[in-house]
A and B are shown apart, each in its own frame.
Chain A
Amino acid sequence: MKSMNTAINSVPVRLLSELKAGYAFLERNVNLTRRYIGWEICFLVYSMVSAFSIGLIGKTMGAGDEQAVLYLIIGALMWNFLANIFNEIAHTISWERWEGTLEYTFMAPVHRLTHLMGVTWFAILYGLVRTLLVLFAATWFFGLNLEGANIPGALVVLACACFPMLGLGLVVAVLPLMSAEKGSQAAHIILGLILLISGVYYPISALPAWLQPFGYISPVTYTLNGVRSALLEGTPTVQLLSLSGALVLSGLVLIPVGYFIFLQGEKYAKRHGLLKRSG
């Protein structure tokens, strides 16, 4: 038995098997996206129309100021990207429960972190493609001029922002594990609150004083500041590194915390029979 344990648990074998499993989640989600292409088009059109509407508000209120339009468009785009990562992770449990496959996923010999990382990689790729499509559409719709904008710098900030969003997603993903319906509803409420406090469409100074401290601790606030700074003011990437580093650090705190909470939730679900859909 010892030799069998050794074979199963040897680091390279385990790592390779975890990598393959991680890829399985990515591939599965890509296949599902293809199969649900009608809904994908629907979501994409909705995101575009939403970004256009928000941009038009900026155009009206800012008396044609292109900076005001871009400020709001960046908010819409970044929210689209970050909310997508958050949603993919947070709702992966409720969605699998709805499909009825949750028990099979939890029964497979796969580390939970591999499972969630696989879902995250897909979320990042998917979010990036969707955000870029909306960005191209908005640039065409408003005739935006991105000359002087530091696009690579904005992408660096965005990449670093994936870490805290993954952490937050893990914290919230546990909710649908504890309660199928209410957990999903709670996840939506939390996402809405992040939208409110993080200065997506306005500076957080516009928030009531008692809400502003929450805005200061939200990683989304710093992500938006960094991306706006890169795109609106052309801030060099070097100057964005401290902010990017802070985002990575917050992720390094949030991911283990979120993962720990998720594992506790999984144990609770297994004690109380919450993984099953029926039967």
Chain B
Amino acid sequence: MSALRGRGGTAVVEAPTCRRSEQNPIIARERKMHAIEVSGISKEFFKWESANKKKDVNGEADGARKSWFARKLPHRTKVTALEDVSFHVKPGEIFGLLGPNGSGKSTLIRILSTLLIPDAGEVRILGRDVVKDIYEVQRLINRVSVDAAFFKKLSAHENLIYAARLYGVPSNKVQALAKEILGKIAFDLDRYLDPLEDFSRGMQQKVAIARALLTSPIVLLLDEPTTGLDPKSKREVQAFLLDVRKENDATIILTTHDMDEADRLCDRIGIIDKGKIIALDTSEGLKSMVLDDLNGGAKDKKITDITLEDVFLHLTGGILKNEEAE
């Protein structure tokens, strides 16, 4: 973590006292530990490149030296998705993960979701290892991904009851619970028995959110959950997530491209680029850090106000810095 930029790392909004922790002594005890601990995670993938692409990458001179087979056949290249990523998330915290496309956000979410095994490092959710204690971890988590993946021919009810059964939620409670959740995010309940294929993307995403919350996860992994929602629905979902955190003591990891959303919801934000966490702080801490950087330590600060989007662009592409320099 020493390589991380930022200075307000301790200024985390503490989660409010919650009903669930009071009721459950085990959860209350576990509040003392980190909800999520990511230590030195690395992940590489191999991709097959076509012979033509290889020629472009290696150049004619390099290609000419190699054998006919080496030049003509596709070859495997290594892509680093995550490199020595470490951070922790406190119980009840909403932790934002921002990064450009292909920066490794979804890879990280997949590792936390037990869908990917890291090459190196360790991830613990409430003290349980995501590789070794897979079954226990799976009972604690749920995920909403950017693509609302469902059996599209089945109705919202059929999809939700299927998901609920997999997590051991009593089937007689599913409908009431699902309708309660869907009602809070302004889902048209008259469409509850309609096939998902007839729903707009926004409506499908609302069902996806209900599917994740039906199982009362202690850790909720949200991979761009509001992408595709209209501004009103987006606000409703965001308000609902704050409610979930408050009432259920859920710890949330949120990846998003919506900077206002991150600013509004997240207690701390990690910015990931090319598989590395390049900054981690509260929104205010990040802004302050970038302001200092842009003003170059000068006493008469030329730039006094900055948005999270400016921070993101400055840290991941240097666009703002260049613009200001001009």
A residues with CB within 8 A of B: 1, 3-5, 8-9, 17, 20-21, 23-24, 27-28, 31-32, 35-36, 99-101, 103-111, 267, 270-273, 275-279
Shortest CB distance A28–B (Å): 5
User: Which chain A residue shows the least CB distance to B137?
Assistant: A109
Pairwise interchain contact B147-A278, C-beta atoms closer than 8 A: yes
Shortest CB distance A105–B (Å): 8
Tell me, in angstroms, the Cα distance from A83 to B150 when the chains sit together.
27
Secondary structure type dominating chain B contacts = mixed
Tell me, in angstroms, the Cα distance from A23 to B138 when the chains sit together.
19
Pairwise interchain contact B138-A275, C-beta atoms closer than 8 A: no
Q: Is B240 an interface residue (CB 8 A)?
A: no
Shortest CB distance B14–A (Å): 22
User: Which chain B residue shows the least CB distance to A108?
Assistant: B166
Shortest CB distance B214–A (Å): 12
Which residue of the partner chain, among A3, A8, A21, contacts B166 with CB atoms under 8 Å? Answer: A21
Which residue of the partner chain, among B127, B145, B153, B165, contacts A103 with CB atoms under 8 Å? Answer: B145
User: Across the interface, which residues of B come within 8 angstroms of A24, CB to CB?
Assistant: 161-162, 165-166
Secondary structure type dominating chain A contacts = helix
Which residue of the partner chain, among B116, B149, B152, B162, contacts A273 with CB atoms under 8 Å? Answer: B116
Which residue of the partner chain, among B115, B138, B165, contacts A20 with CB atoms under 8 Å? Answer: B165
User: Which chain B residue shows the least CB distance to A4?
Assistant: B26
Q: Is B180 an interface residue (CB 8 A)?
A: no
Pairwise interchain contact A276-B146, C-beta atoms closer than 8 A: no
Pairwise interchain contact B116-A1, C-beta atoms closer than 8 A: no
Name 18 extra pairs, CB < 8 A, besides A27-B165, A28-B158. A1-B29, A20-B165, A24-B162, A27-B162, A28-B162, A31-B154, A31-B158, A32-B154, A35-B154, A99-B150, A100-B150, A103-B145, A103-B149, A108-B166, A109-B138, A109-B167, A273-B107, A273-B116
Pairwise interchain contact A270-B116, C-beta atoms closer than 8 A: yes
Which residue of the partner chain, among B46, B145, B166, contacts A279 with CB atoms under 8 Å? Answer: B145
Which residue of the partner chain, among B138, B162, B195, contacts A35 with CB atoms under 8 Å? Answer: B195
Within 88-133 of B, Cβ neighbours of A (below 8 Å) are at 106-107, 110, 113-117, 126-127
User: Across the interface, which residues of B come within 8 angstroms of A110, CB to CB?
Assistant: 166
Q: Is B139 an interface residue (CB 8 A)?
A: yes
Pairwise interchain contact B158-A279, C-beta atoms closer than 8 A: no
Pairwise interchain contact A270-B115, C-beta atoms closer than 8 A: yes
Pairwise interchain contact A8-B139, C-beta atoms closer than 8 A: yes
Pairwise interchain contact B153-A279, C-beta atoms closer than 8 A: no
Tell me, in angstroms, the Cα distance from A208 to B149 when the chains sit together.
48
User: Across the interface, which residues of A come within 8 angstroms of B146, CB to CB?
Assistant: 279
- Show 29 residue pairs from A and B whose CB-CB distance is below 8 angstroms, ordered by the A residue: A1-B30, A1-B127, A8-B135, A8-B136, A20-B165, A21-B166, A24-B165, A24-B166, A27-B165, A28-B154, A31-B151, A36-B153, A99-B150, A100-B147, A100-B149, A100-B150, A101-B150, A103-B149, A104-B163, A105-B166, A107-B115, A107-B138, A108-B163, A271-B117, A272-B45, A273-B110, A277-B147, A279-B146, A279-B223
Pairwise interchain contact B26-A1, C-beta atoms closer than 8 A: yes
Which residue of the partner chain, among A9, A32, A279, contacts B106 with CB atoms under 8 Å? Answer: A279
Pairwise interchain contact A35-B145, C-beta atoms closer than 8 A: no
Tell me, in angstroms, the Cα distance from A195 to B158 when the chains sit together.
36
Shortest CB distance B304–A (Å): 38
Q: Is B168 an interface residue (CB 8 A)?
A: yes
User: Across the interface, which residues of B come within 8 angstroms of A111, CB to CB?
Assistant: 135
User: Which chain A residue shows the least CB distance to B27?
Assistant: A4
Q: Is B287 an interface residue (CB 8 A)?
A: no
User: Which chain A residue shows the least CB distance to B212?
Assistant: A104
Shortest CB distance B322–A (Å): 30
C-beta contact mask, B148-178 vs A, less than 8 Å → 1, else 0? 0111111000100111011110000000000
User: Across the interface, which residues of A come within 8 angstroms of B141, CB to CB?
Assistant: 107
Tell me, in angstroms, the Cα distance from A35 to B145 when the chains sit together.
25
User: Across the interface, which residues of B come within 8 angstroms of A267, CB to CB?
Assistant: 117
Pairwise interchain contact A101-B135, C-beta atoms closer than 8 A: no
Pairwise interchain contact A103-B115, C-beta atoms closer than 8 A: yes
| Those 5 A-B pairs whose CB atoms lie nearest each other, nearest first | A24-B165, A100-B149, A109-B138, A35-B153, A108-B166
